[in-house]
Amino acid sequence: MSDGSAESGKGGIAAALKAMISFFTIIRLDVGQTEFESMERRFWLAPVIGLLNGLVAGFIVLLLIECGVSSTVAAVFVLVTPFLFSKFLHFDGLTDFGDGMVVSSGKREDHIRALKDTLVGAGGIGTAITVCLISFACYCGLSIYWLIFPAVMIAETAAKNAQVFAAAWGEPGNGMASRQVGFTNKSSAVRSLILSAVLFILVWLAYIIIAGNLGWHKEGQLVAYFAVLALIISSVSGWIMARNANRVFGFVNGDILGASNEICRAAVLTAFCIIAGLWF
């Protein structure tokens, strides 16, 4: 982990965000070494990309709902859109993580070999199916209460906060994301947490304006509880992912960060559904 020099180097916040958009989404921008180095040193800005994912997915879902599609179809698109928008980058990490974790030998080298194997095994497929089914079912439930739009924005932002926490407590390995993990420390995690909270406040303010105009005062209050839960769950899940990855593999790499993103989303949405069910 970094010793506190994460903010040194060329480039700035704008350069880091530019590189993140180009790397983590299907949007292609003209970026070079300066921008990528800035991204690696300022990984705590990742929640901004999460909110962007959520906005894109939420906008598409609102259009579908306005066209009269069912809640089930809306749930499919709200789940698939971030996959497509991120080029299945994190989904790939989830399958690799699943394969690496289910190795029965207990030897670290075998876990690492399965993690880095280009072929997807039963562990990866099973993990991906489980996580996707949980997220899909939760979106179906939340759409009943018209909470799917704020839920996707909060969940996607929280998923990126989980990545930062996983990187902050993870040991850097070799290959993709090793520099991101190396430059990300506990100070970065605090910055990500604060940034996520600010973004959640913006989402909440926008929603209560819409909810107030439509008479959904109860739903507006519930979104505030969603935001607080998302901050807690994403931070804890990122730490847990790093702790387990350090123990099993000896490091946190891009696959672990991707898996942290997908698993956190499912965990956050599950909490949302439980609270919504109790609330209504």
In a domain, 64, yes or no: yes
Residues near 228 by Cβ (< 8 Å), separated by ≥ 6?
none
In a domain, 24, yes or no: no
In a domain, 10, yes or no: no
Buried residues in 85-104 as b, exposed as e (16+ CB within 10 A): bbeebbbbbbbbbbbbbebe
In a domain, 54, yes or no: yes
**Which residue has tokens 């989830």?**
94
Tell me the CB-side half-sphere exposure of residue 230, using CA atoms within 13 A.
39
In a domain, 31, yes or no: no
CA distance 39 to 263: 23
In a domain, 187, yes or no: yes
Q: What DSSP state is assigned to residue 44?
A: G
Per-residue pLDDT of the chain (280 residues; tens, 9 = 90+): 444 455 655 679 999 999 999 999 999 999 999 999 999 999 999 999 999 999 999 899 888 888 888 889 999 999 999 999 999 999 999 999 999 999 877 789 999 999 998 889 999 999 999 999 999 999 999 988 778 889 999 999 999 999 999 999 999 988 778 999 999 999 999 999 999 999 999 999 888 887 666 555 567 788 999 999 999 999 999 999 999 999 999 999 999 999 999 999 999 999 999 999 998 8
E strand or H helix at 173, and its extent? none
In a domain, 39, yes or no: no
pTM listed for this prediction = 0.92
> Which range of residues forms the domain containing residue 145?
45-279
Q: Count how many domains the chain has.
A: 1
Q: Is 9 left (phi over 0), alpha (psi -120 to 50) or beta?
A: left
CA 151 to the chain's CA centroid:
13
CA distance 133 to 4: 39
Alpha helices in the chain (DSSP H): 13-24, 33-41, 46-66, 71-85, 89-101, 108-116, 122-144, 148-169, 178-183, 186-214, 217-248, 254-279
**Residue 49 amino acid letter:** I
In a domain, 1, yes or no: no
